[in-house]
């Protein structure tokens, strides 16, 4: 009886040990005595312990670093190149099986393939071309990886060229060239600014001169209009009496200068006195 309970307990433990949980980010491959048996979807799955084996495969996106490496460019320079590759195992049964049965450790394989591909690409380019053609290098690298891994059950999502670092002496020379270019641009900008300022000052001076000329014209026109009005008034009110008009003009001018005048008895022949008050009194006597 006790032996039966023991055997029953062992059996229950054995059966309970076969339950496996597959997460939504995983897919499973069940093998029986080393032979593929079935595909395990997310959820609860059961395998016979000791008889079957469950391999869980992560289908989320991975990022691997191709690791910095020294590459000789077409112009015989040793550049340090590094890149990153983003990929994931496709979730269907065929792709999951391919990731396990068609390639040995696809992560290491992608790293090595990326490094080899980068050497082949950048080795045919000059350092300047490589620095200015990053998008082209990324596109070529991704296309090559997709073609080479299409039987691995994975999808290459994107590739990123992290850096292309030239030798130290070349880097210093490039920095000097960039500095010289920046100084040249700054000098051109300064010269343009000064030229613009000078042009503005010249235009302002022209405007001021035009303003002065216009003011002179306006003043001259005003004087001409005043003379015309005086002449019209003279023709209208003093026609034949030019002497009277002249006397009035002299009288007006004298009053403006605070001069002393004497009006004679007839009232139309003013006498201009330029002396002091005493002199005026003497004249009056």
- pLDDT tens, per residue, the chain with 285 residues: 667 667 767 666 767 778 989 999 999 999 999 899 999 999 999 998 889 999 999 999 999 998 899 888 888 888 889 999 999 999 999 999 999 999 999 999 999 999 999 999 998 998 888 888 899 999 999 999 999 999 999 999 999 998 888 766 655 565 566 666 766 776 777 778 777 877 777 887 888 877 787 877 787 777 777 777 766 666 665 555 555 656 666 666 665 555 555 555 454 444 444 444 544 444 444
Query: What are the Cα distances from residue 278, in Å, to 255, 262, 285?
Result: 19, 14, 11
Secondary structure tally for the chain: helices H, strands E: 8, 11
The span from the CA of 118 to the CA of 162, in Å, is 12
Instruction: Write down the residue that tokens 């030239």 correspond to.
Output: 166
Joined tokens for residue 235: 């023709």
CB of 165 closer than 8 Å to CB of 80 = yes
pLDDT, tens digit (0-9, with 9 covering 90-100), for 112-127: 999 999 999 998 998 8
Tell me, yes or no, if the pTM score tops 0.95. Answer: no
What is the spatial distance between Cα 269 and Cα 248, in angstroms, rounded to a whole number?
Answer: 10
Distance CA 32, CA 160 (A): 41
Give how far Cα 271 sits from Cα of 244, 254, 277, Å: 14, 10, 14
Q: Report residue 70 CA to chain centroid gap.
A: 33
- Burial, 4: exposed, middle or buried (Cβ in 10 Å; 0-12, 13-18, 19+)? exposed
Per-residue confidence (pLDDT) for residue 25, from 0 to 100: 95
pLDDT value at position 283?
41
Q: Which pLDDT does position 192 carry in this prediction?
A: 80
Structure tokens at 26: 């995983």
Name the 3-class secondary structure at 275.
coil
Short-list 53, 58, 60, 2, CA closest to 30: 53
Angle at the Cα of 213 from the Cα atoms of 208 and 215, rounded to 5 degrees = 95
What dihedral do alpha carbons 201, 207, 213, 216 form, nearest 10°? -100
DSSP state of 46: E
Q: What is the pLDDT of residue 77?
A: 82
DSSP structure class, residue 109: H
**pLDDT attached to residue 91:** 95
Please tell me the predicted confidence (pLDDT) of residue 280. Answer: 44
What is the predicted pLDDT for the residue at 245? 59
Phi, psi of 106 (to 5 degrees): -60, -25
Residue 258 and residue 121: Cα distance in Å, rounded?
104
Q: Residue 279: its pLDDT value, please?
A: 47
Angle made by CA atoms 100, 155, 36, in degrees to the nearest 5: 20
Nearest-angstrom CA–CA distance, 273 and 257: 12
**Residue at token pair 């990326």:** 114
Strand partners, 154: 89
């Amino acid at each position: 009886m006790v032996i039966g309970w023991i055997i029953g307990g062992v059996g229950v433990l054995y059966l309970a040990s076969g339950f496996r949980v597959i997460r939504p980010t995983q897919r499973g491959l069940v093998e029986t005595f080393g032979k593929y048996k079935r595909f395990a979807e997310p959820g609860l799955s059961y395998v016979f312990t000791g008889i079957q084996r469950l391999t869980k495969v992560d289908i989320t996106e991975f990022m691997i670093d191709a690791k910095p490496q020294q590459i000789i460019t077409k112009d015989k320079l040793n550049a340090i190149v590094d890149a990153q590759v983003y990929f994931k195992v496709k979730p269907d049964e065929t792709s999951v099986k391919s990731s396990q049965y068609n390639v040995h450790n696809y992560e290491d394989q992608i790293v090595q393939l990326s490094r080899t591909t980068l050497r082949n690409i950048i080795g045919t380019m000059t350092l300047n071309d490589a620095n200015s053609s990053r998008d082209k290098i990324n596109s070529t690298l991704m296309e090559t990886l997709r073609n080479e891994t299409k039987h691995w059950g994975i999808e290459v999502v994107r590739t990123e060229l992290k850096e292309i670092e030239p030798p130290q002496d070349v880097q210093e020379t490039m920095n000097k060239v960039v500095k010289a270019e920046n100084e040249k641009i700054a000098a051109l900008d300064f010269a343009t600014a000064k030229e613009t300022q000078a042009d503005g000052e010249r235009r302002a001076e022209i405007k001021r001169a035009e303003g002065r000329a216009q003011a002179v014209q306006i003043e001259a026109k005003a004087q001409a209009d005043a003379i015309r009005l005086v002449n019209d008034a003279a023709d209208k009110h003093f026609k034949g009496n030019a002497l009277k008009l002249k006397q009035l003009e002299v009288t007006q001018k004298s009053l403006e200068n605070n001069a002393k005048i004497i009006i004679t008895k007839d009232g139309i022949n003013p006498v201009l006195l330029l002396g002091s008050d005493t002199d005026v009194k003497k004249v009056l006597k």
